[in-house]
A and B are shown apart, each in its own frame.
Chain A
Amino acid sequence: MAPNLEIETTRSAALAAAERVWGWEIPIYLFLGGLVAGLMLAVSTAVLTLGRERITAAMKRGLLLAPVLLSLGMGALFVDLTYKLHVFRFYTTFRASAPMSLGSWVLLLVYPVQLGLVLAMPADLLEPWLDRLPWLKRVRALAEASVKRLAWAGLGLGVALGIYTGVLLSATVARPLWSSGALGFLFLASGASTGVAALMVLERDRAMQGVFARADITLIAVELMVIVLWLVGLMTQGPIYREAAQLVLSGPYAPIFVGVVVFGGLLVPAALEAMSLRGRALHSRWVPVLVLVGGLLLRFVIVYAGQDVSFVKG
């Protein structure tokens, strides 16, 4: 680049205001998608390690909540489309090169697996319906017999859904802040952490709260490591990538990213969870709420800041 450079463009009046391609709908969807992935991962892991009978009421509620949250996220995606009548086109094509296409199909697979897991869980609410609806009884028997297979499918789809929300951004090429393979793993770790945090909000069983707290501390540690990898990678790639990383480290997004996401949404809740495990603090539902708020703002910061730096010169 020349030592001094000034650029003017005829389209600046209309475009230089740097209109964002994606607004609030995308971070909301990415957050909800990650959260649902986390819920699936947590419940599937519990089914495989503890067994179907030891699934707590909170986990069942989380499992019931997952399709609702996912539908809300998909609703946000629909609102974002500018050619809404063509939404069906997502399901008339399969494009392996496009993460959005892969994601659309993963979403379609997630629903039946979630439904299968819900049916496979012991639930009093379901019992009166089983006598009235014989087909439901058959489906439930099938789900119960395949509970392990469903849990393995839940694990696979949870990982796919969690990673895809990050790969969606990193595959775009044009936005330096997103140009990192670490984003897929960051969103997966964050999704898993928010999923566990959501279960912690719902959970009343003390012993299980402890299990969730331990899991969340581990996931937060992994997430922090991936954040460091992502930012170190950007800082060492070149000037435009450094500029992008500085947006979240010292630029306009730093107060939210460093202050709210990293400090308030990861370090503080991890410390409080560790203290509650050692009996130095009482378990509070506000601690996992911090993780959830941090996860939501992480998506907002990455989606918004990512669109503020591009290769475009004019």
Chain B
Amino acid sequence: MRRVMVIDMKRCVGCEACVVACKTENRVPDGKYRDWVVQETRGELPLLELFIRSQRCNHCADAPCVANCPTGASFYRGDGTVQIDRDLCTGCRACMASCPYDARYVHPEGFVDKCTLCVHRLDKGKPTACEEVCPTGAILTGDLDDPNSLVTLRLKRGDVSVVNAEAGTKPNVFYVNGAR
């Protein structure tokens, strides 16, 4: 199983419902975020294009946060997602220094925290909190190893990009309809 997320940049309207849903579902502390919305304006006046995307931990397949974690607190789960074992975390923040997405934060209790891809929900057959609440259906989660899953079929249609590809970490959050 390889769990991935696909986000449609033409469908995203930047309502930030995903941000609120995530904060509520995962009890994310005040001032901290597991996901956030980025608005990117490209081009020159009057030919401007607006791209909106919801961002989070990219659950990279070659994750420097996992490689650099000195205690094994950051680890790959069997489904390909990157998770944190709070009991092993020392708060050294090597993972935060290693993340090319700045997707992690220090929880007020001391451990480092980030998006879990809501695996506690996915394991029960439910969608992630952000996916469930997205009013335009811009967020899709699924198994890329399943040739018939919606994420596999959508990625096969092309126009796929990832954020910060130059970091070379093989991210598992894909953006579609955002071609430059």
- Chain A residues in contact with chain B, CB under 8 A? 2-11, 14-15, 21-22, 77, 80-87, 89-90, 92-93, 95, 97-101, 104, 168, 171-175, 238, 240, 307, 310-314
Contacts and interface: CB of A to CB of B under 8 A. Distances in A.
Nearest to B180: A2
Contact of B101 (A22, A97, A312): A312
Given A4-B44, A104-B70, A81 B91 contact: yes
Contacts of A310: 100, 102
A310 B169 CA distance: 14
Contacts of B164: 311-313
19 contacts: A14-B33, A21-B97, A81-B91, A82-B112, A86-B71, A86-B88, A86-B90, A89-B73, A89-B88, A89-B89, A101-B71, A172-B94, A173-B168, A174-B100, A311-B167, A312-B101, A313-B38, A314-B36, A314-B40
Given A9-B38, A312-B164, A80 B68 contact: no
Contacts of A95: 69-72
Nearest to B164: A311
A89 B85 CA distance: 12
A172 B98 contact: yes
B19 A98 contact: no
A93 B166 contact: no
B102 A9 contact: no
B68 A238 contact: no
A99 B64 CA distance: 12
A90 B88 CA distance: 9
Nearest to B102: A312
B122 interface: no
B90 to A, nearest CB: 5
B167 A9 contact: no
A90 to B, nearest CB: 6
Interface of B: 16, 19, 31-33, 36-44, 55, 64, 67-73, 87-94, 96-102, 106, 109-112, 163-164, 166-169, 180
B43 A9 contact: no
Contacts of B36: 9-11, 314
B67 A97 contact: yes
Contact of A314 (B38, B106, B109, B112): B38
A90 B92 CA distance: 10
B91 A83 contact: yes
A42 B33 CA distance: 48
B55 to A, nearest CB: 7
Interface-centre pick from B37, B72, B102, B168 (highest chain A CB count, 10 A): B102
Contacts of B39: 7-9, 314
Contacts of A2: 42-43, 180
A98 B71 CA distance: 9
A84 B44 contact: no
Q: Which of A14, A98, A240 has the most CB of B within 10 A?
A: A98
B33 A172 contact: no
A7 B36 CA distance: 13
Contacts of B68: 97-100, 171-172
A77, A80, A82, A171 pick with most chain B CB within 10 angstroms: A82
B86 to A, nearest CB: 8
B97 A93 contact: no
**In this complex, which of B16, B42, B69, B71 has the most chain A Cβ atoms within 10 angstroms of its Cβ?**
B71
